[in-house]
Amino acid sequence: MPDAKRIDGKALAAEMSETIASETRELLEQHGIKPGLAVVIVGEDPASQVYVRNKKRRAESCGFNSVQHSLPADVDQDSLLALIDELNSNEDIHGILVQLPLPSHLDEKTITQSIDPSKDVDGFHYVNVGKLSTGDTDDAFIPCTPAGCMLMIRRELGDDLSGLSAVIIGRSNIVGKPMAALLLAANATVTVTHSRTKNLAAVVREADIVVAAVGRPEMVGGDWIKPGAVVIDVGINRVERVVDGEEKSVLVGDVNYAEASEKALAITPVPGGVGPMTIIMLMHNTLRSARAGLAD
């Protein structure tokens, strides 16, 4: 079969950004509400700094009020909780995001669970997790990466995935488990695999939909992919490669893109696939939160 269709997350995110910006203008003009997104970052982790910059840039391009709180790496937990409490009470802030990972002296679970569920635009609070797992998603926030992945899958295969098998590689709370819930809700038959799964390649080979979120560079080779499968590569791994005779640091996914492209129907690239969708779904959730107040 010919090479797979490249699922362009960057183009899809740009398209969604225009829609969100237009709806944001309407919300401000008709109701005087401007979506407010507060991002809290602790320390100087370079990758986190890049993510936060990208989120801020996208929020501003959508017309949001983007607020950043940068805290020192040695901030104590009580101070961080006090800031979150303040943001929970701030009517101009509709979404609160604490950039992960946090320094080891801070309790990640306590921090994420302190965010008001109605402002938890990352979808990590147990209230939102519970609603997703039971299929009650009308007023729940869905974690941004799985939500973006699901949107791309629906674009390729439609809203009803009945009769299709999906294999998720990775069982994290951020991607693997919520991804399984979304695929189940769309009637796919779902298998969640992980480091303890036996004959992993054989399991993946049966899948019509593959979501790779394991954090191992190019672990999934072309011989793992069923002909005609849709492949969503969540992995972002930095590796050293020789490019034009020079050793350079490049980004690759969990899937060997060149090999998998020879088998798949459609596949996301790294970079330019899932990453931009994660950020735009954060904006989507923030706009939803700002609108939610209209129903009160």
Domain boundaries, the chain: 31-116, 144-275
Give the Cα separation of 249 and 31 in Å (integer).
Answer: 48
- The fold adopted by the segment(s) 31-116 is Rossmann fold (3.40.50)
Contact 123/143 with Cβ under 8 angstroms?
A: yes
The winner for highest mean pLDDT among 2-11, 204-213, 284-293 is 204-213
pLDDT at 131: 96
Phi then psi for 221, rounded to 5 degrees?
Answer: -85, 170
| CATH fold group of domain 144-275 | Rossmann fold (3.40.50)
Q: Following DSSP, what letter does each residue of 5-36 receive, concatenated?
A: EE--HHHHHHHHHHHHHHHHHHHHHHH----E
pLDDT tens for each residue of 249-281: 889 999 999 999 999 999 999 999 999 999 999
**Fold agreement between 31-116 and 144-275:** yes
Split at pLDDT 50, 70, 90, the class of 32 is very high
pLDDT above 60: residue 295: no
**293 — pLDDT class (breaks 50, 70, 90):** low
Q: What is the DSSP secondary-structure string of 257-279?
A: HHHHHTT-SEE--SSSSHHHHHH
Q: 105 falls in which pLDDT band (50, 70, 90)?
A: very high
Average pLDDT over residues 72-80: 97
In order of 122, 126, 133, 143, 180, the CA distances from 173 in angstroms are 12, 11, 11, 9, 10
Averaged pLDDT, 34-56: 92
What's the whole-model pTM score? 0.94
pLDDT recorded at residue 68: 95
CA dihedral sign, ordered 188, 2, 235, 220:
positive
Asked whether 261 and 274 are in contact (CB, 8 A), the reply is: no
Q: Which residues are catalytic?
A: 55, 99, 122
Over residues 218-239, mean pLDDT: 96
Taking the CA atoms of 281, 287, 289 and 291 in sequence, report the sign of the dihedral they define.
negative
Name the nearest CA neighbour of 145 among 110, 162, 121, 115.
121
- Comparing 49 with 205, which gets the higher pLDDT? 205
Burial, 152: exposed, middle or buried (Cβ in 10 Å; 0-12, 13-18, 19+)? buried
Q: Return the ∠ at Cα 218 (arms to 227 and 257), rounded to 5°.
A: 45
Those residues whose C-beta lies under 8 Å from the C-beta of residue 15, and which sit 6 or more positions away, are none
pLDDT of 296 higher than 70: no
- Report the mean per-residue pLDDT for the chain: 95
